[in-house]
Amino acid sequence: MQNPWLIALVVIAVLIIAGLAFYAGKLLWLLQQQNKQQAALLEKEQQQQLQNQLYVEQSIYTICKAVAAGQCELSEGALRVWVLLNRLPEKQQGPLATDYPGIFQMYQTVKDMPTHQARKQQSKQATLAQDQQRLQAEKTLAPQIMTDTSKLLQRFKPA
């Protein structure tokens, strides 16, 4: 005859092992669910980044087309394009200042000039001086800006 204590200990041990196995299985299932959620979130984030990049590229193309057609002032186009170029992923940017020197120089000229309400609040003499500086820079940099615009139109040409 077997010892009842031994049987009771074996039964308790089996129950403990079964409980721990169930708990481990539940934890593994939860971990798997979490990994699926993280993968879905990562895929969604990558899709959002791709959409943002496409939007930036389309915006650059549209602005460059407007600049090339004379529908947008060179200074405004350069300012907007430069900001958008800097929103591209770093691996796609490259050395922007050397790749697009005309746009870069125009951006450097106009980046600190006030706009909108700040422009309205400054004196007429300051506004006139800034306009003259901007127009002179546009005149001087026009050939290089148009070259840069052509490069950008080729680079971001829609498929």
For 57, what's the count of Cα atoms within 13 Å in the CB-facing half-sphere?
15
In the chain, where are the structural domains located? 7-155
Q: How many contiguous H segments (helices) and E segments (strands) does the chain have?
A: 7, 0
pLDDT in tens, 107-139: 999 998 887 787 888 888 988 889 899 999 999
pLDDT in tens, 8-49: 999 999 999 999 999 999 999 999 999 999 999 999 999 999
Pairwise CA distance, residues 67 & 62, whole Å: 9
